[in-house]
Amino acid sequence: MAFFIASSPHTQKRRSLSTMMLLVALCAVPGILAQTYFFGFGTLIQVLFAILVAWTFESLIMLARGRSPIQALRDNTALVTALLLAIAIPPLSPWWITVIGLFFAIVVAKHLYGGVGQNLFNPAMVAYVVLLISFPVQMTSWLTPAQISSSPVGATDALSLIFSGYNLDGMSLQQIRTGVDGITMATPLDTVKTGLGNGQTLSEISNSPLFSGIAGYGWEWINVLFLIGGLIMLKLRVIQWYIPAGVLSGVFLTSLILYIIAPGTLGSPLFQLFSGATMLGAFFIATDPVSAATTIKGRLIFGGLIGALIVIIRTFGGFPDGVAFAVIIANMCVPLIDYYTQPRTYGHK
């Protein structure tokens, strides 16, 4: 009898890796559609373009390694990486942002470590952090939701802005952003961080049209639909509940403590849970089976660490959302977490 040693990810269900990854992509569709509804067709354009770029890089690197690109594309890991990066960046980001990001995700963060099952860090989050640090202007150029904008961007304008830098009327993205009702900070997290830095209180900041609802116009619905997609994955047993529960508990408890300490200057726990990329991070990013902790207790600690870091980075860091940084820092801690949470060997005293 032959004894085979397989690399991660390991699953308890009799499903292939390609099926698991395809289910992850399908469960993200409700959130993607919500993001498209509120921020325009740029989201769908970015998703389709990112998938093509990811498949291209995956094929080229597999050919360079002397392996079959068809087999690599069938596992759908490149598809999920492209999907996560495309919905994490602003919908009207220039095309080269996607290309650079996916180069780092597919070639550097994934294949330089050995390919599927060998990467130490979540590839999409590595790409996002590299882009955010290198191109902060492009990576924070979100528009206001189309429903409260006096100049919503249509599909053809979105296509033109992404691939040429200008809309059909010759206006750049920066000109469009500064001309939308005087609102240049498109995300609630951005608005809160900037307003608090300028000495405003939350009650003053909440007068902005961006703050209708519990977590900012449109963002709570995007998070709710990613939550629904995550619950579907739990129902289908694509993921387990430990990491999402840890992330959401970490976000809630950390934000609750900070909110009690300074209620007028920090966002409420509900605001933290349903703004930014909280639900996307909890269910679709942190649950990466390769770069996450492997023990049950370790997964709870891993998720809780991510949740706490998200709130801490949002509150005290230099960036409005801390999901990507929190995930990568937690990835660094995985060997230590697994070491101290591994089950005791049977018979060992």
pLDDT, tens digit (0-9, with 9 covering 90-100), for 36-57: 999 889 999 999 999 999 999 9
Residue 166 pLDDT class (50, 70, 90 cuts): confident
DSSP-derived secondary structure letter, 27: H
The pLDDT > 70 percentage for the chain reads 88
CB 242 within 8 A of CB 303: yes
Task: For residue range 187-236, list pLDDT tens digits in order.
Answer: 778 777 777 777 776 777 777 777 777 777 888 999 999 999 999 999 99
* Lowest pLDDT segment from 79-83, 165-169, 321-325: 165-169
For residue 173, is pLDDT > 50? Answer: yes
Q: CA triplet 237, 4, 234: central angle to 5 degrees?
A: 5
The CA distance from 344 to 125, in Å, is 33
C-alpha torsion 101→106→112→117, nearest 10: 130
* Lowest pLDDT segment from 98-107, 110-119, 165-174: 165-174
- pLDDT higher for 119 or 297? 297
Query: Locate tokens 């018979």: which residue?
Result: 347
Q: What is the predicted pLDDT for the residue at 167?
A: 83
C-alpha torsion 92→94→96→102, nearest 10: -10
Neighbouring residues of 56: CB distance < 8 A, sequence distance ≥ 6: none
Task: For residue range 85-112, list pLDDT tens digits in order.
Answer: 999 999 999 999 999 999 999 999 998 8
The CA distance from 296 to 302, in Å, is 10
DSSP-derived secondary structure letter, 268: -
CB 325 within 8 A of CB 319: yes
